[in-house]
């Protein structure tokens, strides 16, 4: 129930699509945010920086360890790996 | 939405005669990196005042400007991404708009990241003040291939949209005319306020029904309901106090059943933004890689990025020594000594104590402040350039991993590193850190970075005790200071902040050519603020220390300061230090270099090689090592303490910091002394 309402309307939750954390995506890959997890404060900060369900994302840099860079809503955002683990993306 | 009271100052040509009329109040809002500061500086020039928001360590900038004979008061709100109570800045910004109800809010948005920039506008529109959107950096957007039709956007938003390039003074006049039009009586202002996503409309209405007539003035009821739904801490606290128990329980039940509403509200705003810009914006072809991302392939690379950072830092220090040091010496030789000569001549008939007080105490203190300035100006300028160009965020990004160990994140790196030059700009430089907790921790750790003056004392004294091994010992002591810094960071973080680490999520802004006006004003304001605030404290402490080191007899060996040193000797003895070394440490409070001068005076040996020989004969290597360790970790100079007080805005944290440093420097001294004795030094 609860998860349903935070899923972007144009991309209904489906078990058929592959959902991965942002941290697992490679540089140059694109996707759409499906779900965010984390505390209220964290969610609020992510949302104000452009991460909400339905947002298109492109990974700019990800070396597999350390922080990474994602492009979302035309802005480049640097995220710690812990933060990137909490953003789920449909490729 | 209520129309705000219109200012009576706006009556055209005769406004000058109505001197009592309050100026039109304009608030400047915007997300970070949208060029808000440039707009502010452009409008107010030198007519600005920098201070703090009451009770907060958030910088408050205010200024005035005149347009068509009307005086406008411009308040620069802190740069924030949203208006939810996640940080002090966000609370300051929205409280100002709600309580002061400015005549106009100018919302600066970045045309190149329009979608994200408009998020703040979506939060501003429901507040009780008319909004003008300043569509800044349209030139950058064009470069990135984005084209925007301002008229279409204005029609969609229902608020005026003014395209501008603030760095080139394009569009500012149109903005002023628009402000004038909007505060004038017959303006039509019908904003299209964003609505919550349809699936949460009913919930919002349910909350509104419960809190109806209970919302304290001047908060808009619908806004309060929305913030409750978003889980905003401040608004929740406020309404909990205003509602009776059954009402609060009813609200609480709704909120608990919809704890995901925050994301729905945020998505609702972005959907609204999407509708606003769909017609007005033509996007570039997908896959186009801009200049910024090409630079970042190097500048944000885990290896090359570090090399580039090292190069930039090397250049900074080279600049400091190549330009700053000669300036410093010239100031000392001509201005400070000149002043001293003048004062001596003027006071030739006065009693000796008065001469001493003025020449050695007061002018010595003024000299300390003055000679700081060249170094400060260079560091402020370098920090300003790096910040304005957009590089600062990259430095933070590549250093993030290292800084995590201390419970800090990447943004703390640059201020700390600047500390090797001088702790004062390092403490002031922590302003780039948004997280209050991370900023406080960085300030508390800064004194553990050995500054140029401490390093000079180390370099001078180490050969006295260790001869050829001096180099190795010096490097060892620097590493020791850094290890203590890392350990203290981890410890303070664990004890005072319960180990929670600041989340690392920040924007990497587009690179752009630095704006010299912005940087010039920043350097000017910071320097003036240092001279004004720190200057007073430095002067007072310098005079006190001078008095203590002179009275009653006129020489330091029999002075009150020596008596204090002798009183403290039992404590110092544990670390192998006698009263003379303690006095040298105490005088280092004015400036670290004083350590050497004081030793020279006490041993009557000047500050040349004679002093080194005397010290080597008087003290064992164990005592020498202990003294150097204490010197490296001791409380910082009074200038640093002054800015720590200014930036933490708390005597408690400042005194805690001093106590902490005294304790660890003394403990480390004791430990090193006895270890050295154990090894027969």
Please say if the pLDDT value at position B402 is more than 50.
yes
Tell whether B289 lies on the interface with A, counting CB pairs under 8 A.
no
Q: Which residue has the higher pLDDT, B325 or B8?
A: B325
Q: Between the CA of residue A8 and those of A13, A36, A44, A63, B474, what are the distances in Å?
A: 8, 11, 17, 29, 60
Confidence of residue B11 (pLDDT cuts 50, 70, 90): very low
pLDDT digits (tens, 9 = 90+) for B178-221: 999 998 877 788 888 888 888 888 888 888 888 888 888 899 98
Confidence of residue B496 (pLDDT cuts 50, 70, 90): confident
Integer Cα distance of B385 and B387 in angstroms: 5
Over residues A58-74, mean pLDDT: 91
Integer Cα distance of B5 and A36 in angstroms: 42
Number of domains in chain A: 1
- A13 assigned to some structural domain: no
Tell whether B300 lies on the interface with A, counting CB pairs under 8 A.
yes
DSSP codes of every residue in B79-97: P-S--STTSHHHHHHHHHH
Please say if the pLDDT value at position B17 is more than 50.
no
Nearest chain A residue (CA) to B401: A66
Confidence of residue B463 (pLDDT cuts 50, 70, 90): confident
Q: Which residue has the higher pLDDT, B474 or B593?
A: B474
Confidence of residue A14 (pLDDT cuts 50, 70, 90): very low
Best probe of the B interface among A1, A72, A80, by most B CBs < 10 A, is: A80
Contact A66 B230 (CB under 8 A): no
Structure tokens at B146: 């984005």
Confidence of residue B298 (pLDDT cuts 50, 70, 90): very high
Looking at residue B500, what is its pLDDT?
Answer: 61
Looking at residue A82, what is its pLDDT?
Answer: 87
Taking a contact as any Cβ pair under 8 Å apart, which residues of chain B between 235 and 264 contact chain A?
A: 258-260, 262-264
Please say if the pLDDT value at position A17 is more than 70.
no
Total residues found in chain B within this entry: 681
CATH of B198-282, one of 3.30.530.20, 1.10.287.1770, 3.40.720.10, 3.40.50.300: 1.10.287.1770
Looking at residue B614, what is its pLDDT?
Answer: 86
Distance from CA of B113 to the nearest CA of A (A): 5
Strand partners for B606: none
Please say if the pLDDT value at position B578 is more than 50.
yes
Please say if the pLDDT value at position B108 is more than 60.
yes
CB-nearest partner of A45 from B258, B409, B503: B503
Looking at residue B6, what is its pLDDT?
Answer: 38
C-alpha angle B337-B341-B342 in degrees, rounded to nearest 5: 115
B115 and A73 Cβ atoms separated by less than 8 Å: yes
Looking at residue B3, what is its pLDDT?
Answer: 40
Q: Which residues contact B191 (CB under 8 A, 6 or more apart)?
A: B1, B125, B130, B131, B157, B158, B159
- A27 assigned to some structural domain: yes
Taking a contact as any Cβ pair under 8 Å apart, which residues of chain A between 30 and 69 contact chain B?
A: 36, 40-50, 52-55, 60-61, 63, 66-67, 69
- A50 assigned to some structural domain: yes
Contact A79 B504 (CB under 8 A): yes
Contact A53 B199 (CB under 8 A): no
Over residues B533-553, mean pLDDT: 77
Distance from CA of B167 to the nearest CA of A (A): 20
Q: Which residue has the higher pLDDT, B671 or B559?
A: B671
Contact B113 A74 (CB under 8 A): yes
Question: At A72, which CATH number?
Answer: 2.30.30.90
Contacts of B293 in chain A (CB under 8 A): 60, 71, 76
Integer Cα distance of A33 and B304 in angstroms: 31
For residues B644-665, one letter each, b for 16 or more C-beta atoms within 10 angstroms of the residue's C-beta and e for the rest, the string is: bbbbbeeeebbeebbebbeebb
CB-nearest partner of B260 from A2, A75, A78: A2
Q: CA dihedral defined by B206, A1, B235, B652, rounded to 10 degrees?
A: 170
Contacts of B258 in chain A (CB under 8 A): 5
Contact B81 A61 (CB under 8 A): no
Please say if the pLDDT value at position B243 is more than 60.
yes
Contact A73 B507 (CB under 8 A): no
pLDDT digits (tens, 9 = 90+) for B472-490: 888 899 889 989 998 998 8
Best probe of the A interface among B508, B510, B511, B512, by most A CBs < 10 A, is: B508
Please say if the pLDDT value at position A24 is more than 90.
yes
What percent of chain B is helix, strand and coil (3-state, nearest 5)? 65, 10, 25
Best probe of the A interface among B80, B90, B116, B411, by most A CBs < 10 A, is: B116
Tell whether B292 lies on the interface with A, counting CB pairs under 8 A.
yes
Looking at residue B608, what is its pLDDT?
Answer: 64
Nearest chain A residue (CA) to B84: A44
Over residues B390-408, mean pLDDT: 84
Distance from CA of A16 to the nearest CA of B (A): 24
- Whether omega before B218 lies within 30 degrees of 0, making that bond cis, reads yes
Tell whether A2 lies on the interface with B, counting CB pairs under 8 A.
yes
Q: Between the CA of residue B471 and those of B317, B453, B676, what are the distances in Å?
A: 21, 17, 18
- A25 assigned to some structural domain: yes
Please say if the pLDDT value at position B681 is more than 90.
no
With H, G, I as helix, E, B as strand and everything else as coil, classify residue B347: coil
Please say if the pLDDT value at position B338 is more than 90.
no
With H, G, I as helix, E, B as strand and everything else as coil, classify residue B66: strand
Contacts of A8 in chain B (CB under 8 A): 267
Please say if the pLDDT value at position B497 is more than 90.
no
> Domain locations in chain B?
12-183, 198-282, 299-451+499-535, 542-678
Pairing of strands B104-110, B59-67: unpaired
Looking at residue A1, what is its pLDDT?
Answer: 39
Over residues B536-558, mean pLDDT: 78
Please say if the pLDDT value at position A67 is more than 80.
yes
Confidence of residue B502 (pLDDT cuts 50, 70, 90): low
Please say if the pLDDT value at position B21 is more than 70.
no
Total residues found in chain A within this entry: 91
Please say if the pLDDT value at position B379 is more than 60.
yes
- Whether omega before B552 lies within 30 degrees of 0, making that bond cis, reads yes
Over residues B653-681, mean pLDDT: 93
Looking at residue A7, what is its pLDDT?
Answer: 46
Integer Cα distance of B118 and B581 in angstroms: 61
Over residues B578-585, mean pLDDT: 90
Q: Which residue has the higher pLDDT, B359 or A27?
A: A27
Integer Cα distance of B538 and B646 in angstroms: 13
User: From edge to edge, which strands make up the β-sheet containing B48-52?
Assistant: B48-52, B59-67, B70-76, B24-30, B104-110, B131-136, B161-163
Query: How crowded is residue B589: how many other Cβ atoms within 10 Å of its Cβ?
Result: 19
Integer Cα distance of B168 and B172 in angstroms: 10
Integer Cα distance of B251 and B211 in angstroms: 8
Lowest model confidence (mean pLDDT) among B94-103, B424-433, B670-679 = B424-433
**Matching residue, tokens 């003040």:** B129
Sign of CA dihedral B374, B376, B379, B383: negative
Confidence of residue B25 (pLDDT cuts 50, 70, 90): very high
Looking at residue B51, what is its pLDDT?
Answer: 79
Contacts of A2 in chain B (CB under 8 A): 259-260
> Residue B121 burial by CB count (10 A; 0-12/13-18/19+): exposed, middle or buried?
buried
Distance from CA of A27 to the nearest CA of B (A): 11
Distance from CA of B495 to the nearest CA of A (A): 22
Looking at residue A8, what is its pLDDT?
Answer: 47
For residues B490-529, one letter each, b for 16 or more C-beta atoms within 10 angstroms of the residue's C-beta and e for the rest, the string is: eebbeeeeeeebbbbbbbbbbbbebbeebbebbbebbbeb
Looking at residue B607, what is its pLDDT?
Answer: 61
Chains A, B: CB contacts within 8 A come to: 128
Q: Which helix (H) or strand (E) holds B75?
A: strand B70-76
Looking at residue B605, what is its pLDDT?
Answer: 62
Tell whether A19 lies on the interface with B, counting CB pairs under 8 A.
no
Over residues B96-121, mean pLDDT: 93
**What are the helix (H) ranges across B574-637?**
579-587, 594-602, 609-618, 621-633
Looking at residue B501, what is its pLDDT?
Answer: 63
Q: Which residues contact B277 (CB under 8 A, 6 or more apart)?
A: B114, B115, B118, B148, B153, B156
Contacts of A83 in chain B (CB under 8 A): 503-505
Contacts of A45 in chain B (CB under 8 A): 81, 86, 503, 505
Contacts of A48 in chain B (CB under 8 A): 81-82, 84, 86, 119, 266
Looking at residue A56, what is its pLDDT?
Answer: 92
Confidence of residue B2 (pLDDT cuts 50, 70, 90): very low
pLDDT digits (tens, 9 = 90+) for B507-518: 999 888 888 888
Contacts of B507 in chain A (CB under 8 A): 49, 75-78
Nearest chain A residue (CA) to B85: A41
- Of B415, B477, B525, nearest to B668 by C-alpha is B477
Best probe of the B interface among A78, A82, A84, by most B CBs < 10 A, is: A78
Which structural domain, as residue segments, surrounds residue A74? 2-8+18-90
Looking at residue B273, what is its pLDDT?
Answer: 92
Tell whether A29 lies on the interface with B, counting CB pairs under 8 A.
no
Contact A79 B397 (CB under 8 A): no
Contact B112 A6 (CB under 8 A): no
Integer Cα distance of B32 and B507 in angstroms: 9
- Computed over every residue of chain B, the mean pLDDT equals 85
Query: How crowded is residue B202: how many other Cβ atoms within 10 Å of its Cβ?
Result: 10
Contacts of B196 in chain A (CB under 8 A): none
With H, G, I as helix, E, B as strand and everything else as coil, classify residue A18: coil
Contacts of A42 in chain B (CB under 8 A): 503
Integer Cα distance of B296 and B306 in angstroms: 12
Looking at residue A16, what is its pLDDT?
Answer: 53
Q: Which residues contact A34 (CB under 8 A, 6 or more apart)?
A: A7, A8, A11, A13, A19, A53, A88, A89, A90
Contact B86 A53 (CB under 8 A): no
Integer Cα distance of B357 and B367 in angstroms: 14
Tell whether A82 lies on the interface with B, counting CB pairs under 8 A.
yes
Please say if the pLDDT value at position B14 is more than 60.
no
Distance from CA of A13 to the nearest CA of B (A): 15
CATH of B12-183, one of 3.40.50.300, 3.90.1150.10, 3.40.50.720, 3.40.50.2020: 3.40.50.300
Nearest chain B residue (CA) to A60: B293
């Amino acid at each position: 129930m609860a998860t349903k309402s935070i899923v972007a309307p144009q991309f209904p939750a489906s078990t058929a699509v592959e959902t991965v954390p942002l941290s697992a995506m490679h540089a140059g890959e694109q996707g759409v945010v499906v779900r965010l997890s984390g505390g209220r404060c964290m969610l609020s900060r992510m949302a104000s920086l452009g991460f909400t369900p339905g947002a298109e994302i492109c990974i700019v840099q990800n070396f597999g360890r350390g922080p990474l860079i994602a492009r979302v809503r035309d802005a480049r955002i640097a995220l710690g790996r812990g933060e990137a683990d909490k953003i789920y993306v449909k490729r | 939405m209520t129309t705000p009271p219109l200012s009576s100052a706006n009556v055209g040509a005769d406004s000058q005669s109505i001197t009592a009329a309050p100026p039109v109040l304009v608030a400047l809002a915007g997300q970070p990196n949208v060029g808000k500061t440039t707009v502010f500086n452009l409008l107010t020039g030198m007519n600005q005042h920098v201070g703090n928001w009451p009770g907060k360590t958030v910088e408050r900038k205010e200024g005035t400007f005149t347009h068509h004979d009307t005086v406008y008061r411009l308040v620069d709100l802190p740069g924030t991404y949203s208006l939810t109570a996640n940080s002090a800045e966000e609370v300051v910004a929205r409280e100002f708009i709600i309580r002061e109800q400015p005549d106009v809010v100018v919302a600066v948005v970045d045309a190149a990241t329009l979608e994200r920039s408009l998020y703040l506008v979506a939060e501003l529109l429901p507040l009780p003040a008319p909004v003008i959107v300043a569509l800044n950096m349209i030139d950058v957007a064009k470069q990135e291939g984005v084209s925007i039709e301002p008229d279409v956007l204005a029609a969609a938003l229902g608020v005026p949209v003014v395209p501008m390039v603030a760095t080139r003074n394009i569009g500012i006049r149109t903005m002023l005319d628009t402000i004038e039009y909007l505060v004038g009586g017959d303006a039509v202002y019908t904003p299209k306020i964003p609505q919550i996503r349809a699936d949460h409309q009913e919930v919002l209405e349910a909350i509104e029904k419960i809190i109806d007539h209970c919302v304290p003035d001047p908060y808009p009821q619908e806004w309060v309901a929305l913030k409750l739904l978003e889980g905003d801490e401040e608004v929740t606290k406020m309404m909990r106090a205003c509602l009776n128990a059954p009402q609060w329980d009813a609200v609480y039940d709704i909120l608990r059943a919809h704890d995901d509403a925050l994301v729905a509200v945020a998505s609702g705003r972005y959907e609204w933004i999407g509708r606003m810009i769909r017609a007005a914006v033509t996007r570039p072809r997908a896959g186009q890689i801009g200049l910024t991302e090409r630079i970042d392939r190097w500048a944000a690379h885990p290896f090359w990025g570090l090399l580039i950072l090292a190069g930039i830092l090397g250049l900074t220090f080279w600049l400091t020594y190549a330009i700053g040091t000669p300036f410093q010496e010239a100031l000392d030789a001509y201005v400070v000594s000149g002043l001293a000569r003048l004062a001596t001549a003027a006071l030739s008939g006065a009693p000796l104590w008065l001469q001493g007080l003025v020449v050695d105490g007061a002018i010595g203190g003024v000299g300390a402040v003055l000679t700081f300035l060249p170094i400060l100006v260079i560091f402020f300028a370098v920090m300003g350039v790096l910040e304005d160009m957009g590089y600062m965020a990259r430095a933070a990004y590549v250093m993030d991993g290292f800084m995590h160990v201390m419970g800090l994140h990447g943004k703390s790196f640059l201020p700390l590193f600047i500390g090797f030059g001088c702790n004062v700009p390092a403490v002031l430089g922590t302003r780039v850190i948004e997280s209050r907790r991370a900023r406080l921790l960085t300030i508390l750790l800064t004194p553990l970075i050995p500054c140029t003056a401490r390093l000079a004392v180390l370099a001078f004294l180490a050969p006295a005790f260790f001869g050829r091994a001096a180099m190795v010992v010096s490097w060892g002591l620097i590493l020791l200071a850094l290890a203590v810094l890392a350990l203290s960071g981890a410890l303070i973080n664990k004890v005072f902040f319960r180990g929670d680490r600041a989340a690392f999520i920040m924007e990497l802004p587009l690179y752009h050519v630095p704006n010299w006006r912005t940087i010039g004003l920043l350097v000017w304001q910071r320097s003036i603020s240092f001279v004004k605030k720190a200057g007073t404290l430095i002067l007072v402490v310098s005079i006190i220390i001078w008095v203590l080191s002179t009275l009653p007899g006129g020489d330091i060996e029999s002075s009150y300061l020596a008596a204090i040193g002798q009183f403290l000797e039992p404590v110092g003895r544990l670390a192998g230090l006698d009263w003379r070394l303690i006095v040298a440490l105490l005088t280092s409070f004015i400036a670290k270099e004083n350590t050497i001068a004081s030793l020279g005076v006490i041993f009557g040996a000047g500050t040349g090689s004679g002093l080194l020989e005397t010290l080597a004969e008087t003290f064992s290597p164990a005592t020498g090592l202990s003294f150097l360790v204490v010197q490296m970790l001791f409380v910082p100079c009074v200038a640093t303490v002054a800015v720590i007080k200014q930036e933490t805005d708390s005597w408690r944290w400042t005194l805690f910091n001093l106590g902490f440093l005294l304790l660890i420097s003394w403990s480390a001294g004791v430990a090193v002394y006895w270890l050295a004795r154990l090894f027969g030094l």
